[in-house]
Structure 1
């Protein structure tokens, strides 16, 4: 009999609502927060257009190109790094550039080494960056789709 009050007390404690409030979900990361502070390595690059059809540029690239990466930092600077393997030892290991996001993070413009490319952001997560770049080749349109992964 002595154990019944303790037993019922434990049951009642479990039935009472918790005094702790619900934890709020953290605010989602902004596109800038998702982009900066990571090393983005190219994992896929496919060109398509009426002149040459579809070409897998990544598969055709030598290993010294496939290990290159981009790193975005604030405020709007980036580094293009040749990675561990240089194709041409006379090239610099890194080149500084700039970047900007526009249209609620759906446009990413990157300027490095005298070239500026305006990309459409198809996907930006903590681990994946998918970009589309469209350019005119004469009177036809060519499209490049690049996929990058974030590497620690």
Structure 2
């Protein structure tokens, strides 16, 4: 009789573990592409700007550092919100743009100066992207410092 109870207990335990592990697999979200993570529809904001590993935020106007940038994956459009500090009060609060992402080259391209870094172009290299952080880089000619790799980190 004790053997029957032990066997029943063991069988019950195996069933519980099996069912719970199957349930967890079904709940996992599918892996998102870089473009889907970038274009989540959630606003990105500046976290850090570095040039050759040193803080370079002083090269960027304060009125640009508080901007919010939202990318929409489905339409490949986006909006830049000027934030509380506008560079020119006559500028619109928001500006729309279009974007493209090349998965093989990891290049994020814009049709405007979405991320306004002096001396930068509209194409940025995506170093990494997660659901919470987007790290971009570009070689930029900085006055008095020559060409430097500028790394911009955006966060949600």
Is 1:41 aligned with 2:45?
A: yes
Q: Counting helix residues as a fraction of each chain, which structure ranks higher?
A: 2
SS at match of 2:111: strand
Report 1:97-108 matches (<5 A). Answer: 97-104=97-104, 106-108=106-108
Provide, for residues 11-33 of structure 1, a one-character-per-residue CA deviation record: whole Å limited to 9, x for no partner.
14335445637325432111122
Q: Which residue of 2 aligns with 1:51?
A: none
Asked if the contact 1:70/1:78 (under 8 Å) is kept, the reply is: yes
Q: Which residue of 2 aligns with 1:148?
A: 154
Q: Distance in 2 between matches of 1:17 and 1:124?
A: 39
Report 1:50-61 matches (<5 A). Answer: 56-59=55-58, 61=60
| Number of matched pairs | 141
TM-score by length of 2: 0.71
Q: Distance in 1 between matches of 2:105 and 2:129?
A: 9
TM-score by length of 1: 0.72
Superposition RMSD in Å: 3.2
Deviates more, 1:8-17 or 1:68-77: 8-17
Q: Distance in 1 between matches of 2:36 and 2:154?
A: 16
- Kindly tell me: are residues 71 and 16 of structure 1, through their superposed partners in 2, closer, same or farther at Cα, counting changes over 3 Å? closer
Q: CA deviation at 1:97?
A: 1.1
Q: Which residue of 2 aligns with 1:128?
A: 133
Q: Distance in 2 between matches of 1:62 and 1:99?
A: 23
Q: Which residue of 1 aligns with 2:95?
A: 95
Q: Counting strand residues as a fraction of each chain, which structure ranks higher?
A: 1
Larger radius of gyration: 1
Q: Distance in 2 between matches of 1:12 and 1:45?
A: 57
Q: CA deviation at 1:47?
A: 3.1
Provide, for residues 69-100 of structure 1, a one-character-per-residue CA deviation record: whole Å limited to 9, x for no partner.
21101311111111122232111111111111
